[in-house]
Each structure stands twice: as C-alpha cells, then as structure tokens.
Amino acid sequence: MGTTDLSGRVAVVTGAGAGLGRAEALALAVAGADVVVNDVGDAADTVVAEIQALGRRAIAVKGDVSDWQLGATMVEAAVAELGSLDIVVNNAGIIRDGMLFNLTEKMWDDVIRVHLKGHAALCHAASVHWRAQAKSTGNPVSASIVNTASEAFLFGGPGQSNYAAAKSGIVALTLSVAQGMSRYGVRANAIAPRARTEMTAHVFEDPTEAGGLDILAPERVGTMVSYLASDAAAQINGQVFVVYGDMVALLAPPTVEQKFTSSTGAFSTDELAQLVSPYFEDRPAAKNFAARSVAALDTTGVGNKS
C-alpha cells in the first residue's frame, strides 16, 4: 500500500477561501502538500496564511474558475512558483436554486458555468500539462484529480434542476478524464460531499453534538480528498464516492432493470404498448431513475437529504 504522505506534492484547490475548499486545502497541507489557493476574493489570502503557518508553501490565484484561461493560469502558477503540479481539487461552486418554472436563463447559465465549465477548464489545463510532461520524459506522471459532484445528481431535487444537471455533468466529465488520462498516469475521481458550510447553512439543521467535531464538519471531507490525492489511492480511478460524517460510500454504476425486445426486429408503437406499458402498471411514482436509496446512508439526523 502506498503512502498518504503528500510531501513534495503541489496541489491546486478551487473555491478554497472558505468551507469545503478551505478544509480540503488545509488537509492537503497537513499531509505535506504545497497549495495554490483559488477563490474570487481576498479570503484566498487568509487561507494562504493558514497554510504557511503549517510550514507549507502556498500562493493565491484569484479569479472566477469559469474563465477558461484561469485554469491555465493556475497550472502555470503551480509549476512556476511551487515547482510542479500533482493534485487538482475542483471545488468551486455556487447555488441558484429555484423551481424550473421560476428559473431564469442567468440562474441556469451561472450554475452550469461555474460548476461544470469551471471543472472542465482546470481539468483541461492540467491535462495539457500532464500529457506534455509524460511525453517529454517518456514516463507517466503520478497525478490525481478530485472533482466535486453532489447527491443532487442522484436525486434530481425539484428546486435544483440547474445544480443537479451541473453535478451530473461533472460525474460524466470525471469518467471521461479518468479514461482518457490514465495512460499518462493521471487518476480522476469524484466525491459527493455533505458538509455544514456557509453555502449549505439553509439546508442542514444545527449540530446537536456537545463538543467534538461536528458530524458534518468539512474537515471530514478534507480527509477523504487528501487520501484520494495520495499514493495510497493509486488504484482508484473513475470512481464516485458519497462522503460525509463518519462514512464513505462507493457508488456502483447504474444497472439494467429490464430489457424489452421486439419480436419482429423493429418495434411498432403498438408492440411497445403491449410489452412496456404492463411493466409500469401499479408502479410507484417514486420508483424511477432517481437513486433515492442512497438517502438511507444518512445516520446524521439531518432531515434534508438533497
């Protein structure tokens, strides 16, 4: 088994000025990594100072992750100022919740732009760098990407069509990167985290624990990110984990529930009606593609599962 020590590694963490991103950046630093801290504002400087206080190097690269060029800027900063790029953690995101009939075009575009395009921009820039590095040395790199999905892509909450769509796209992006970049020594995995942060303050109930680490503390997710970035997780690629509390759950890919085959080699609408419609008679409305069974993982006492 490989080591979880990240000494000598350099990470880029987006949205790292607060919440999950901050916890992830600090966890990587505690494990030994130097960190490029991205956020849109001056909170990035505060986290840089926290990392430096741990004895690690850190720099801030401020800007909107949906700016395609910023992805390249972060990669260049990691290499030029910290010496390499080994770990990418895509965390930055926003929410613009609303029922679909109340959603504006801007609400849709902003969420897709920051989450999905933001993930793609940094994955692209890092992939360009790592591919060139592998080709120039003739050896694969040892690099890890951790992308941030959400249980929203499993449940399809009625007030989060933009967010759920973005997170579903991030999972598909992760699988594509995992398959396309593995030949160069790059692993890509996604996490669906649950944590009590400023962005989720309206979702989760207040902690009931008297002292100790909150069951939904973002530091718990940071530990998983640090692990996935390390050599100990060298065999893990193209996977999706639900992460929160005292639990990590590995998701399985979708399965085929039922196959319908035409007796003539080409369906007519009448034959479809004869074969498919009876299968759905008396089927509960909630029994659809949404993976609601994942909600049963929750033992935190949190009422909202989305």
- Active site residue ranges: 150, 163, 167
Q: Give one DSSP letter per residue of 261-277, joined into a string.
A: --SSSS--HHHHHHHTG
E strand residue ranges, the chain: 10-13, 34-39, 58-62, 87-90, 143-148, 186-193, 240-244, 247-250
CA dihedral (45, 49, 54, 58) in degrees, to 10, reads 50
Strand order in the sheet with 143-148: 58-62, 34-39, 10-13, 87-90, 143-148, 186-193, 240-244, 247-250
Q: Give one DSSP letter per residue of 83-129, joined into a string.
A: S---EEEE-------B-GGG--HHHHHHHIIIIIIHHHHHHHHHHHH
How many Å from the N-terminal Cα to the C-terminal Cα in the chain? 35
Residue (of 122, 246, 136) closest to 188 by Cα position = 122
Phi, psi of 110 (to 5 degrees): -65, -45
